Chain A
Amino acid sequence: MTDREQFRPENHPNDHFLLTTVVGSYKKPKWVDRARELWEEPDSGFDDDNWQEAADDAARLITGEHERAGLDVVVDGEMRRTEMVEYFAHRIDGYEFPGRVKVWGHNTFDKPAVVDDVAYDEPWLVDEFEFTDSVAERPVKVPITGPYTIARFSFNEHYDDYEEYAYALADLVNTEIENLVDAGARYIQIDEPALAMTPDDHAVVGECLERIVDDISVGGANGGSSDASDGVSEEVRVGLHVCYGDYSRIYPEVNDYPIDEFDVELFNDDYQQIDVFADPEFEPDLALGVVDAHHAEVESVEQIKQNILEGFKVVPPEKLTISPDCGLKLLPREAAYGKMENMVRAAREIERELDAGEIDVGLAAPSAD
């Protein structure tokens, strides 16, 4: 069994299998935001147990929503998390929170400042995973913010440079992923949007990934890290998500990363960048964005099928994962649901056409299959 086949549902209708999933974040229901506000108000009487219950309800709701849309691998929509850097920094020793800063317009975040050596304190995502896994009928993916992005998106008052800082964090991410794998997680996605911002640092991200996957294996046995081309054992799938950047500045270096899958946003500019990955041969699996994460109009099944075909310019069907461009947290829920539902329908239709030998595009052409 390859690491990918373990996610094929038992009742999967087609021989071909285009794994469908999401990047991770999802619009929070209004009552979740309200519950968090109450929990953060000292005099509200809304205690930790109340918040826990609200967060559990939300995670159950969104996990179920992903399953109803038909996704093969689901996420809880990151209902317990605040912001992608802040959430982790609160759980790592070495940070202070000097105050809010602007991201755009009147949107701010509580940007952490590292003031001491970072150290692993408490698990970051193990509880989140265990709960989601317990309520989900489908396999669960765990998105985790990568060390380079945490380093780049926080203030650095302590380390000599970003490289040293990112490597220190990478060792902590390694510990967290070990804990997640021990808890049963088999699909991890490292989010590194900061790489799109400073693509010249692709080697730093590469070294972070080597540290992250070091000795990660199921049951702690036969760690795959001895094989530099694939640091993780077969049972654990590690993806990397990078969005909104110039991919030509990090490819083909990505081929050397110890990852199973590279997740990209390409629909946003209508696949103008797809050719970047065509030469030299793309080595990891490709997780292809096929719906827009920042436009509320739901793409038709037909349109999404056309988008999926773009992926075959780069990888054959057995290496193609289908996903939105980015997290869906900024879309209205109905739009996000509609996009996921159409995405799954489109993937199943393409699979049927592949089974029937009707698709003659790039690496999906029957002769190449």
Chain B
Amino acid sequence: MTTRPIRVLIAKPGLDGHDRGAKVVARALRDAGFEVIYTGIRQTAEQIVQAAIDEDVDVVGLSSLSGAHNEFFPEVVRLLREQGAGDVLVIGGGVIPPDDAENLKRQGIAAIFGPGTPTRDIIDFIRREVQAVRT
């Protein structure tokens, strides 16, 4: 039985231009066999959710290093649910203080991967979670 490759949207919400982490993660996921779409910088939550739906992704990975994560990450989760795409796994990364990470998890962000995270941790997490949703 062939399964569809896992599809991931990597997105940069807000005005933050630090995209090194987003691009490194995107490339590592692609090398791991996922289909990866990168939005580029300066995306609104609405644009990200639209792209996630248009591209029919399993996962949205959000990256923000400007401190705007509390504003944008929960908003993406909320809009996905509103559009009937609440099963999309939302994960995040960036400069995110530990307290904020806990708060974000309570608001539906499945995991926060901070600086120094090995990309294989992210890959393993996505595989496991998407598997669980699909079965």
The judgment on whether A and B are partners is: no
